[in-house]
Copies of this chain bind each other. A is one copy, B any other.
Amino acid sequence: MLVKSKLKYIQSLGQKKFRKEEGLFIAEGPKLVKELLEEEGVNVKEIYALKDWIDENKELLISRDVTEISAFELEKISLLATPNKVLALVKQFDNTSSITTKGKITLVLDDIQDPGNLGTIIRIGDWFGVNQLVCSHGCADVYNAKVIQSTMGSIARVRVIYTDISEWLKSQNNITVYASSLEGKNIADMQKIKEGIIIIGNESKGISPELFALANEKITISKKGKAESLNAAVACGIILSHLS
């Protein structure tokens, strides 16, 4: 059973302000919650689930804070269009300490505003072993429910920090910064890299001129047809598949 104050508390986590204050985010559905429970270093604080899911996952739930709720109650706290058996409150990750770019590939996101795109990019990073991501303050909130759901669990394995990326890029020395543009080296002809910073631009505006000027390698995904642009997450996947 869910007391009213708890219900309101969980609902409040739909808002960034409260998520930040509480240092928590919401994850939903059997697949995602199971993955987070099994991942090392993830702190799943509270679980709210239907009886059948709890019965099916007894072993996974040993010494966990689990509350059995009704389908009706789940509907009230779920942020999904179709609530799916279980909702968990998870501790936000430590994203304050600085990251090292030496010897690694790092993605930099310039105002990726669509939560689905941000989540998909995190999942792409995780696929290609790129586990750090630097977001501009104009990016969607990584703990937004849509981002979390579309990362499909990769949120636990990819470090995401928010910063002034122009300042941050200026502080990075002796490392190649790649930016995609309409004119640049064709990525299909490039060698794989072991180290570098790759900037992915905003969905409609692309990479801002200020950041573009900080890049020392312009790359391009060669076009044969007529589409004006590629989706930001798709472009990110293509670039990493060639360079990483």
Which residues from chain A sit less than 8 Å from chain B, CB to CB?
Answer: 116, 120, 123-131, 152-154, 157, 187-188, 221, 223-231, 233-235, 237-238, 241-242, 244
Q: How far is the CB of A140 from chain B (nearest CB, A)?
A: 16
Query: Does the CB pair B238–A153 fall under 8 Å?
Result: no
Contact A152 B228, CB 8 Å, known A128-B223, A238-B241: yes
Contact A225 B131, CB 8 Å, known A230-B123, A237-B238: yes
- Distance of A154 Cα from B228 Cα, bound (Å): 9
Query: Does the CB pair A241–B241 fall under 8 Å?
Result: yes
Query: Does the CB pair B157–A127 fall under 8 Å?
Result: no
**Cβ-defined partner of A129 (8 Å) among B224, B234, B235:** B224
Q: Which of A125, A223, A230, A244 has the most CB of B within 10 A?
A: A230
- Chain B positions within 8 Å of A129 at CB level: 223-225
Q: Which of A120, A123, A153, A237 has the most CB of B within 10 A?
A: A237
Q: How far is the CB of A42 from chain B (nearest CB, A)?
A: 13
Query: Does the CB pair B234–A120 fall under 8 Å?
Result: yes
- Distance of A224 Cα from B244 Cα, bound (Å): 9
Contact A226 B157, CB 8 Å, known A120-B234, A231-B123, A241-B188: yes
Chain B residue at minimum C-beta to C-beta distance from A231: B120
**Cβ-defined partner of A225 (8 Å) among B128, B152, B227, B238:** B128
Query: Does the CB pair A241–B221 fall under 8 Å?
Result: yes
Q: How far is the CB of A195 from chain B (nearest CB, A)?
A: 14
Query: Does the CB pair A228–B153 fall under 8 Å?
Result: yes
- Distance of A128 Cα from B116 Cα, bound (Å): 23
Q: How far is the CB of A208 from chain B (nearest CB, A)?
A: 20
- Chain B positions within 8 Å of A127 at CB level: 221, 223-225, 227, 229-230
- Distance of A187 Cα from B241 Cα, bound (Å): 9
Q: Which of A124, A127, A187 has the most CB of B within 10 A?
A: A127
